[in-house]
Amino acid sequence: MTSDHYLIPLLQALVRIPSPNPPGDTRAIAQFIADEMGAAGCAVSQVAPPAKPEAVSVIARVGQGDPVIMLHAHIDTVPIAHDEAGKWSVDPYAAVVKDGRLYGKGSVDDKAPLAAMMIALQHAAQHVERLRGTLVLVAAAEEEVGGRLGTRWMADAGLLPQCDFIVVGEQTHNHVATAHKGVMRATVRTTGKSVHATNPDRGVNAITAMARAVLALDEYHKSLQTRVHPMVGTPSCNVGVIQGGSTANAVPDACAVYLDRRMIPGEDPAEVQREMEAVIASVDASPAQISIGDFLVSNWFASTVETPLARTFMDCVRAGLPGDPGPIGYLPGSDAKHLTGVVRGEMVIFGPGSYEVAHAFDEYVDVAELHITAQILIDFVHRTLIQG
Ligand SMILES: [Zn+2]
């Protein structure tokens, strides 16, 4: 079985429709996907949340009844950063193919898995008379900014069907990933009293107080290393930004640090928040005031691969890949965390390439690897949905 010769031209067309987020206007690429899927014979809808009507996602489906299998990829990309623009060796939106690689912004993240999934739906549509079950493509906006107005919104609005198996397309080198970490962001603030630096003991130094908090947070980070998840490793707590003071000749009255706390599957975000509050409560900041707040959660995801559909998917990956297909952990986050409410079976993350070349200049996907992605998806559709 070979994947379609249309795969690479299709990916080129997708890369040539820029969809950077911010601003996250996906109307043009959504229209293209909707036209392609409609022409193939799929039932197609374009949807957008009232809060951001230009963030259009596409839901295409072919077939009916059970099982319901969803292929999910996001259609927005990160924008081209200021310090990145001059580093590209090719036009980031030209979709140049060179030495077996297709280059472009969004080429691997996430338009390559999207193209392979579109080919899989076209394939199912060609065999619609023998199709037993439903294949759904979700081409989602807003993933790069957290998915709240994309996949989360679609799931909450009841636009997505309950699925027996979901493939979320991201960069796993065609291995099967079943877990990623979550993130909790928080801000710690200290408040003191500003006086002239000629007599600092009359003031209260907010930076000195924060220094104690930073050391306590480092101890907390170290204490987390005893918690180990078999696929994604340990939790962490990183102080990423510190802000405070305005001049050397005054005692600073305010300081803030911004934290990134990675959660492993199984950690309860509410419990993690309580832990961090306890760490800050234990800091002797007196006479400065100290507080922690602005908690922001992006949850972890974890699945097993034990249902018959998941086992079949593993078999298809094994047939297409040399070596061990996994399951493995995936380090960045994904829209999988928003889909747990619409999956009654299991969910995996799968796609060509590496997240290490995503979000950077000269992003590319290996053409041969992408063909394997498409072959695996088509093989899976055949084994699970197409009779005879
Ligand atoms: Zn992605």
In this predicted structure, what is the pLDDT of residue 107? 98
| Segment holding 189, helix H or strand E | strand 182-191
| Residue 330 identity | Y
pTM comes to 0.89
State the distance from the centre of ligand 1 to the C-alpha of 301, rounded, in angstroms: 15
Q: Do domains 7-180+300-385 and 182-298 have the same CATH topology?
A: no
DSSP-assigned letters across all residues of 79-103: PPPTTTGGG-SS-TTS--EETTEEE
- Fold designation for 182-298: Alpha-Beta Plaits (3.30.70)
Q: How far is the CA of 179 from the centre of ligand 1 (A)?
A: 15
Is the alpha carbon torsion for 335, 340, 341, 346 positive or negative? positive
Rounded distance from Cα 369 to ligand 1 centre (Å): 17
Q: What is the DSSP string of 269-294?
A: HHHHHHHHHHHHHTS--TTSEEEEEE
- Return d(Cα 19, Cα 287) in angstroms, integer: 50
Residue 136, pLDDT > 90, answer: yes
User: How many angstroms separate the alpha carbon of residue 136 from the centre of ligand 1?
Assistant: 19
How far is ligand 1, taken at its centre, from the CA of residue 177, in Å? 14
71 CA → ligand 1 middle, Å:
14
pLDDT for 283 beyond 60 = yes
Q: What is the DSSP code string of 143-165? A: GGGTSTTTHHHHHHTT-S--EEE
Angle between helices 27-39 and 112-126 (to 10 degrees): 20
Q: How far is the CA of 355 from the centre of ligand 1 (A)?
A: 8
Q: Can you give the pLDDT at residue 2?
A: 43
For 375, the token pair is: 């072959």
Q: What pLDDT shows up at residue 331?
A: 78
Q: Determine what percent of the chain is predicted with pLDDT higher than 90.
A: 93
Rounded to the nearest angstrom, the distance between the alpha carbon of 333 and the centre of ligand 1 is 8
Rounded to the nearest whole angstrom, what is the distance from the C-alpha of residue 168 to the centroid of ligand 1? 9
User: Residues 78-88: pLDDT tens digits?
Assistant: 999 888 888 99
Distance 21 CA to ligand 1 centre (A): 12
State the average pLDDT over residues 22-40: 98
Cβ(125)–Cβ(59) under 8 Å? no
CA–CA distance, 72 with 74 (Å, rounded to integer): 7
Domain residue ranges of the chain, discontinuous segments joined by +:
7-180+300-385, 182-298
- Mean pLDDT, rounded, of the chain: 95
Q: What CATH code is assigned to 7-180+300-385?
A: 3.40.630.10
Share of the chain above pLDDT 70, in %: 99
CA distances to 22, 173, 261, 310, 354 from 167, in Å = 25, 14, 27, 10, 17
Whole-number Å distance, alpha carbon 142 to ligand 1 midpoint, is 10
How far is the centre of ligand 1, averaged over its atoms, from the C-alpha of 255 (Å)? Answer: 34
Q: Say which residue the tokens 């099967």 belong to.
A: 176
| Ramachandran quadrant class, 312 (left: phi over 0; alpha: psi -120 to 50; beta: rest) | alpha
Residue 286 CA to ligand 1 center (angstroms) comes to 45
In tens, the pLDDT along 4-16 reads 789 999 999 999 9
Q: Look at residue 192 in the predicted model and tell me its pLDDT.
A: 96
Residue 376 dihedral angles phi and psi, to the nearest 5°: -65, -45
- What's the gap in Å between 219 CA and the centre of ligand 1? 33
Ligand 1: distance of its center to the CA of 185 in Å? 20
Ligand 1 centroid, distance to 55 Cα (angstroms): 16
pLDDT in tens, 159-194: 999 999 999 999 999 999 999 999 999 999 999 999
